[in-house]
């Protein structure tokens, strides 16, 4: 079992100055743990205050399970003998520091991918490109995980998991001698409030467009942008940063680079714009897109909307920058991308009816998906089924409703993850954004399965049904209960009931 003394974990970091330690400073630490149920002998338990619970309530439970050190912010009135108590108002940041020093060493080549939308897809594209040419890759995204033992679906709800998951994962990648680790770097993970990724240096980065999300956490759009830009601040010297030529925060990113030559730009459908990598479409259908990369290398893949082309192009650009390999070596004729759960996943498609499961959950993602569907299938009836997450960024709810009302013929409003908010109030927030000129029909059915059943029952020739917001997720959070969920499987089950499939 890996164990280090507490004093060894501080190293030269300044955060120790924020802490008051009672007990043995030489105590041996085997793990940093956020959930008391996971404590084992010599664990350091992080008594973290959350939105609905307080880790201080579980200190005794953690000690009963073997924890010998407690990181906390509130005073401990009855300290126990033999336990080391570390008091600080920077619990989250200090826990990140301790975990970073405990679980290392880590791989040298870590790639970060951030932006508002498309992070997971970009990670998956980059992983596929690099592994197809022989590199061993670690991957940690919303969708998948691979520490060097093979890719599987991620069991975690967080895209950038807590430090007690993140740093053991990175160490396992080191042990397995992966060439690159591809990390989905969320704004929460990059924020100084969590410090989750603060101790890493990145060998390359991709920044997708930054719009607006998670203002419940970041408070302002500028704070959100600055937290995203921490990825640039943590780039190594000479490490490439890949962005679209039209990236809205390009000037801010450039100002943070050691050298402007680090910036690698790409363009999509804009051959006249100077960029290192450019792609243009030669053919597109509802279920595939054929492109040319730099006017020379052809590729056909199954993610038809243009937004996926942007994600793919950025992945090609980063792979080219870090490997120095020619595009022809990166994009081989037999290169294929497997279906990502809940990412433009065509659940059902005959000649007349199409059902698509997509994780789109921001106004910008809605716009890109709906505009593509309306252009590619102008004579189809488009229905969308979605909701909005409770206890999350309220500012985007009206935007979801507005975009959907402009493009859809029918809208089914339902539960996404209401948590402890009133589900009907969530839906009213969405409705407030509906365009006055919209003529779409709207149905409110809170039970998501019932809503899908109703939507499926009305499908006719030349109908498209878009199931949005849940994507790959395996549960619906109702606050007092968690409902197990699989959007695609539920839909297929309801289609069987309707005798549409066998």
DSSP code per residue over 412-448: EE--S--TTS-HHHHHHHHHTT--TT---EEEE--SH
Give SS3 for 264: strand
Q: SS3 helix, strand, coil % of the chain, rounded to 5?
A: 35, 25, 45
In the prediction, which pLDDT does 334 show?
A: 79
Express each pLDDT in 232-244 by its tens digit: 999 999 999 999 9
CA nearest neighbour of 116 among 203, 189, 198, 224: 224
In the prediction, which pLDDT does 11 show?
A: 59
More confident residue, 220 or 356: 356
> What does the pLDDT average to over 205-218?
74
* Cα gap 185→93, rounded to integer Å: 17
Written as six digits, the tokens of 243 are 């962005």
- Sheet strands side by side (includes 345-349): 345-349, 353-358, 463-468, 381-386, 410-413, 441-444
In the prediction, which pLDDT does 195 show?
A: 84
Percentage of residues in the chain having pLDDT higher than 90 = 81
Element (H, E) at 310: helix 306-323
In the prediction, which pLDDT does 179 show?
A: 99
Has residue 87 got a pLDDT over 60?
Answer: yes
In the prediction, which pLDDT does 116 show?
A: 82
Express each pLDDT in 270-292 by its tens digit: 877 888 999 999 999 999 999 99
More confident residue, 293 or 18: 293
Give SS3 for 46: strand
pTM metric for this prediction: 0.93
Cβ atoms of 483 and 475 within 8 Å: the answer is yes
Q: Which range (50-54, 169-173, 348-352) has the least confidence?
A: 50-54
Element (H, E) at 405: helix 397-407
Express each pLDDT in 4-37 by its tens digit: 999 888 755 656 678 899 999 999 999 999 999 9
> What does the pLDDT average to over 158-176?
94
Cβ atoms of 248 and 209 within 8 Å: the answer is yes
- Sheet strands side by side (includes 69-72): 20-22, 84-87, 69-72, 43-46, 31-33
In the prediction, which pLDDT does 159 show?
A: 80
CA nearest neighbour of 455 among 463, 273, 106, 258: 463
Has residue 73 got a pLDDT over 80?
Answer: yes
In the prediction, which pLDDT does 212 show?
A: 61
Give residue 482's pLDDT band: very low, low, confident or very high (50, 70, 90).
very high
Q: Round the average pLDDT of the chain to a whole number and report it.
A: 93
Q: Phi/psi of residue 285, each to 5°? A: -125, -175
Give residue 395's pLDDT band: very low, low, confident or very high (50, 70, 90).
confident
Handedness of CA 335, 204, 317, 356 (dihedral sign): positive
> What does the pLDDT average to over 369-378?
97
In the prediction, which pLDDT does 34 show?
A: 96
List, in order of start, the domains of the chain with CATH numbers: 4-89 (3.40.1390.10), 104-330 (3.40.1190.10), 345-497 (3.90.190.20)
CA nearest neighbour of 57 among 43, 42, 45, 40: 45
Has residue 170 got a pLDDT over 70?
Answer: yes
Handedness of CA 233, 238, 242, 248 (dihedral sign): positive
Give residue 215's pLDDT band: very low, low, confident or very high (50, 70, 90).
low
Burial class (CB in 10 A: 0-12, 13-18, 19+), 437: exposed
Cβ atoms of 348 and 492 within 8 Å: the answer is yes
In the prediction, which pLDDT does 332 show?
A: 84
> What does the pLDDT average to over 433-443?
96
């Amino acid at each position: 079992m890996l164990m280090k003394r507490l004093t060894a974990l501080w190293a030269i970091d300044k955060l120790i100055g924020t802490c008051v330690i009672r007990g043995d400073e030489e105590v041996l630490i085997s793990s940093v743990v956020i959930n008391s149920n996971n404590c084992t002998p010599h664990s350091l338990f992080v008594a973290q205050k959350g939105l609905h619970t307080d880790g201080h309530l579980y200190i005794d439970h953690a000690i009963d399970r073997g924890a010998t050190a407690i990181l906390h912010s509130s005073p401990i009135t009855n300290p126990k003998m033999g336990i080391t108590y570390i008091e600080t108002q920077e619990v989250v940041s200090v826990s990140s520091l301790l975990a970073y020093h405990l679980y290392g060493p880590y791989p040298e080549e870590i790639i970060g991918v951030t932006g508002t939308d498309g992070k997971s897809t970009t990670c998956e594209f980059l992983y596929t490109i690099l592994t197809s040419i022989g590199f061993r890759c670690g991957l940690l995204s919303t969708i998948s995980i691979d520490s060097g033992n093979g890719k599987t679906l991620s069991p975690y709800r967080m895209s950038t998991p807590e430090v007690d998951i993140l740093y053991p994962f990175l160490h396992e990648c080191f042990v397995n001698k992966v060439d690159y680790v591809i990390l989905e770097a969320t704004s929460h993970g990059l924020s100084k409030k969590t410090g989750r990724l603060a101790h890493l240096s990145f060998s390359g980065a991709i920044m997708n467009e930054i719009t607006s999300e998670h203002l419940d956490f970041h408070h302002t759009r500028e704070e959100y942008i600055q937290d995203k830009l921490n990825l640039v601040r943590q780039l190594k010297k000479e490490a490439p940063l890949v962005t679209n030529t039209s990236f809205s925060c390009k000037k801010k990113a450039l100002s943070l680079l050691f050298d402007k030559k680090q910036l690698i730009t790409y363009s999509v459908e804009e051959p006249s714009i100077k960029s290192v990598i450019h792609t243009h479409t030669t053919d597109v259908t509802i279920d595939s897109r054929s492109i040319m990369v730099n006017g020379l290398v052809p590729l056909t893949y199954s993610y038809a909307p243009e937004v996926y082309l942007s994600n793919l192009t950025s992945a090609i650009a980063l792979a080219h920058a870090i490997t120095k390999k020619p595009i022809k070596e990166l994009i081989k004729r037999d290169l294929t991308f497997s279906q990502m759960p809940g990412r433009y996943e065509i659940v059902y498609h005959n000649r007349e009816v199409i059902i698509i499961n997509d994780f789109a959950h921001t106004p910008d993602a809605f716009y890109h998906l709906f505009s593509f569907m309306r252009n590619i299938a102008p004579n189809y009836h488009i229905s969308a089924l979605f909701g909005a997450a409770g206890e999350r960024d309220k500012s985007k709810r009206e935007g979801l409703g507005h975009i959907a009302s402009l493009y859809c013929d029918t809208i089914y409003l339902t539960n996404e993850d209401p948590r402890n908010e009133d589900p009907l109030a969530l839906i009213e927030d969405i409705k407030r954004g509906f365009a006055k000129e919209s003529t779409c029909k709207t149905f409110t059915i809170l039970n998501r399965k019932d809503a899908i059943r109703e939507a499926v029952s009305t499908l006719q020739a030349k109908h498209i049904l878009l199931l949005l917001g849940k994507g790959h997720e395996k549960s619906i959070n109702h606050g007092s209960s968690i409902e197990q969920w699989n959007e695609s499987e539920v839909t297929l089950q309801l289609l069987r009931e309707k005798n549409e499939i066998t």
